[in-house]
Structure formats: C-alpha cells, structure tokens
Amino acid sequence: MTKISFSINLVILSGLLFVSCKSKLPETTEKNKTGEVAEKAMLVSARREASKIGVDIMKKGGNAFDAMVATEMALAVSYPFAGNLGGGGFMVYRTADGNTGSLDYREKAPLAASKNMYLDENGEVIEGKSTLGAMASGVPGTIAGIFKVHEKFGSLPIQEIVQPVIELAEKGVIVTQKQQERLQKYRDVLLQVNQDMTLYTKAYKKGDTIKNIALAHTLKRIVANGRSEFYAGETGKKMLEFLKQRGGILTEEDLLKYEAKWRDPIRIPYKEYQIISMPPPSSGGIVLGQILKMIEPYPLAGYQPNSAKYIQVLTEAERRAYADRSFYLGDSDFYDVPQDSLLADAYLSDRMSDFSFEQATPSSTITHGTISGYESNETTHYSIVDAMGNAVSVTTTLNGAYGSKLYIPELGFFMNNEMNDFSLKPGVPNMFGLVGAEANAIEPEKRMLSSMTPTIIEKNGKLWMVVGSPGGSTIITSVLQTFLNVAEFDLSMQESVSAKRFHHQWLPDEIMMEPEGFAKETIQELQQKGYKINQKESRIIGKVDAIKVLPNGNLEGGADPRGDDTAIGF
C-alpha cells in the first residue's frame, strides 16, 4: 500500500467514526445563525451606505450589473480605505440564463516601468518606493471597468445609477467606530505622504460626517463625459499633473492605452458544485482550484469544522498550491501560465502524495522560492444577486490601506500602490524560482499578479453562492473555508462567514490563525505534529461578503462581522 492510499484509508476510517456526530462550530467560534434573508435580491458590501445604494438601484428595476456600477462608486465614497477610482478590480458574473464570464479591470504597469525600478544600485528593494507615493501606482482600471460592465449589461442610464452616489458624497458619510480607528491608525503616514492636511487626515470621531465634495464633482464630470473623462479628459489630466509633480511616471499614453478585458473564468468541478472564479492576472481561481482538487479525496464532512485534521488537510494543500503560485503565476497576456497542467487531476494527486497525518510537511521540502511575508489585505469585496437571478461577484482594491496613501484633493480619491504586487526582485536562482520570478516580473503594460478571488458557485447546475473577500494572499483561503463551511458542514451563510479562519501560504511556514477562535487542544495537537502556529500576525483573516441561494429560492446574505459589512435585501 502506498503512503497516500494508507493515509487516505486512515482518513476515511476516522471520517466514518465522526459521521454520526453532527458538525458544529467550536465553542469559541462566533455564532450568528442566519443572516439577512430576502425573497428577490440581495447585496452585501463593506458599508451599509454602499449596500443600500446598490439595492435601491435594483428596487428601481436595475439589474445586478447596474447595482455593481453604483456599489463600486459608492464604496469609493463610503469606504476610501479600499473602494476606489484610483485602483482596479475583478468581476465574475453569472447571468440568469447561466452564462458566465469575468472582467479584468486590474491596474497595469506604466509604459515607463522596468524590471528593476524598485531596486537600488546594490540590487536591494528600496523601502517604500513601491508602496508609498506617486511611484507606487499602476494605471487605474476602475472607471474603465464600470463602463465596460455598463456597456455590455447595463439597463439603466449611467446618470441614474451614479446620481445617488453623488448625493452621498455631498451629504456625507457617518464615521463608524471601525472607520475612526482605521483613520487614526494611518493618520501619520497619510500626513507624511501627502505633506499636508487632507480630507482624510483630520481627526474624525465616530458619528462625525465626512463630505467629499471634490469626489462629487469628479463623479458629475464622469457622468457627463463618460469613460474618457478619466482616461483623456480633465480628471485624467489633473491626476497625471498631480502625480508628475510628485515624481510619478504615468503618462497620457498610459491612460489612453488602458483597456478593461473580458476573460474566460476558471471553472472547477468539486463534487456536485462548479466553482467559477477569476483567471490570471489573478492567482485566485487557479490556486483555489488546486486546493479544492487536492482536498476533494478527503472526507471533510466527517471532521469537525476547524478540527486538527481539517486544518491539516487544508494546510497541506494550501502549502503546495501557494508554492506553485509563487513560481508559475503572472499576467497570462505576458507569460504562458500553465493553467491546465496546474489544475490537472494527476498532477494534484501527486502533489499530495507525500502528505501524512502523522507529521507536517516542512515547506522547505516543497519546491521553494522567495516571497516576502504576507501580502497586504486592504481590498474590498461585494456580492450581488438581482431579482432576475443575475449574480455578480466583485473584488476591488487600492492594494494597501488607502493605497499609496497619496490623496488627490482636487479629485477626491486615493491612488493605488498596486505596483507592489509585482515580484520586485526577480531571478532567484533555482530551477523553478527563476520561472516564478519571471512570471510576475515588472514589464511595461503588464498586470501585476493578484490574489483576488471573486467567485460564483453553482450546485447541480443552479446558482448557489456568490462569495469573495479582501485579505491579500489570505483571500483565497478565506473563500475556500467559507465555501467548505456551507458545502461540507452545512453551516448557514452567516455562520460560515463569521466562523474563525486560518491560513497557510507555503512561506512563511506557519499556520496563521485568528486569535481566540481555535481550541487549545487543537493547537497543541498541530504543534506536536510539527506545525508552527502564528496567532499574532493578523487580528482577522479575510472579510467575506457572500450570498447563498436557499433551497426555497430565498437569498441569505452573510456579512462579515469583522467589519462594518452589511447585507440588504428585498
């Protein structure tokens, strides 16, 4: 008997022993049985204001795509931490008649970008250059994205869709406790980068109102002049001038050449489910698919959620998938991503063949390369289902919190620091390391590799779940656990979103866990088997906003209690 079949037999046996015990959340896991339930439509996003604006558009007869345009813009007003005009994102959709697709409005490297642009004369990464200020920004894609969506699927005029967002910017957004804390945490660096007091560097308290009149004006011009207002008009010119004065390299040609792109989504079969997710330049769909295929042979439903065995299986699959991510994934317009090979059943079953429940597999024994710790986690996700049955899953980002921290006062928005998602120092000399570094090395007009995983899941051919998360590299594992919590453990959408999460990404070789969410005995058991546990790195892992279609056709929203996230339906 091979090691793998012996291990799987052991797993099946222990699974059978558990089968009569109903899966339940560990004592320490936050419980909130069922989320918002509605009959027709549902929208879950990071802010109540944005969810309401998107839902109101659907109440007026707009579809999920109209609501996407409204929500994307409303998040730029109400959640400037990640909502944006100066960033980019991805959308996965499924129309009511079952057609699926995805839109890539990811930022691109400027034409003047080069492979070593963030290295000093000794070849070392210059601290802050790819994260703070004008040099950190890729060419923004968000405005191109919303117009592309509207052109193909929109049913209401853009003026009608964006008007409530303009009114929100003028009327103002009420500061929440969490927003007060975020603004306080980043105030020093915002002041340092902007060298001036700006709208978001004032000392706000919970209950204060932030009006963004400059953003209202920008949105009015965009409504009046369309997409070209941003890529060839006054707004674009002002943005370029602002960046140029601060050492930026974006040019008029960069803006003129920017295009959002429709792409074929990744489709992953898992039991009776079809997972539809984002292809490159996101790593999300491929890595999620690799993990799911590696764990599918194990009887997960027989384990308790967040038990040692469950954590082991997911961790070992994650370790192997993230090692591949580091080597093979990048913008497929520039690099031949071996998508089919990476998702091949035989390959993935072989990848898990050295896993044993007895002992952790050290990451050093898995193909290795260099990655620099955890990625930043300041994206935002929203999920929409409309009354016709169209579904939209969108993750949008500035990359870091408030992006490059550079705020353009005259236009009312922050610029991204997405250039930091490239591999800044490529060429690690080993068989796979060089390939991986090249895959995501900086090149003019290339899109930087992402982990964003907007996902739609069908069950037996019907719409079943819309899901996604912010969280940098933890996005993929957050989406994975949210899906498994419902598919394998039968939790409600809200319970699944609220449940504590863990994450492994090959390097560093440790399981990151949310504090106080896991039983002491589980942690001890894992440690005895050689797993390093890190509960300090992150207070939260992911911030999932999801919708599940219930058996009676109603929609259940799962809004993440880790943020101000809100599900609204009707």
Query: Would you tell me which residues interact with ligand GLY (CB under 6 A)?
Result: 375, 379, 397, 399, 421, 450-452, 472
From the list 379, 380, 522, 566, the catalytic residue is 379
Q: Which residue's CB is nearer to ligand GLY, number 316 or number 418?
A: 418
Catalytic status, residue 2: no
Work out how close the CB of 72 gets to ligand GLY at its nearest, in angstroms, rounded to a whole number. Answer: 16
Nearer to ligand GLY, 287 or 343 (CB): 287
User: E-assigned strands of 328-411?
Assistant: 379-385, 391-397, 407-408
Find the helix packing angle between 158-171 and 64-78, rounded to 10°.
20
CA 253 to chain CA centroid, Å, is 29
Q: Which residue is nearest to ligand GLY (CB)?
A: 450
For residue 563, CA distances in Å to 236, 380, 541 come to: 32, 11, 11
The answer on whether 468 is annotated among ligand-binding residues is no
Burial (CB count <10 Å: 0-12, 13-18, 19+), residue 188 = exposed
Q: Does the annotation place 460 within a ligand binding site?
A: no
Residue 49 or 318 with smaller CB distance to ligand GLY = 318
Stated as kind and residue range, the H or E segment containing 182 is helix 177-194
Based on CB atoms, which residue is closest to ligand GLY, 314 or 398?
Answer: 398
421 is in an annotated binding site: yes
CA 208 to chain CA centroid, nearest Å:
29
Dist. CA 53–CA 51, nearest whole Å: 6
Residue 338: cis peptide before it, omega within 30 degrees of 0: no
Strand partners, 89: 105, 396
Where are the strands (E) in 160-311, listed by range?
173-174, 209-210, 261-263, 266-270, 273-277
Minimal distance, residue 282 CB to ligand GLY, in Å: 7
Closest contact distance (angstroms) between CB of 508 and ligand GLY is 18
Helix (H, G, I), strand (E, B) or coil at 329: coil
Distance, CA of 73 to CA of 161 (rounded, Å): 10
d(CA 119, CA 448) in angstroms, rounded, equals: 17
Q: Is 399 annotated as a binding residue?
A: yes
Which of residues 331 and 375 has its CB atom nearest to ligand GLY in the complex?
Answer: 375
Nearer to ligand GLY, 135 or 308 (CB): 135
Q: Is 106 annotated as a binding residue?
A: yes
DSSP state of 195: S
Q: Do the annotations mark residue 450 as ligand-binding?
A: yes
List Cβ neighbours of 241 (8 Å cut-off, separation of 6 or more). none
| DSSP helix/strand/coil, 355 | coil
Mark the binding-site residues, compressed into ranges.
106, 397-399, 421, 450-451, 472
Mark the binding-site residues for L-glutamate, compressed into ranges.
106, 397-399, 421, 450-451, 472
Catalytic residues: 379
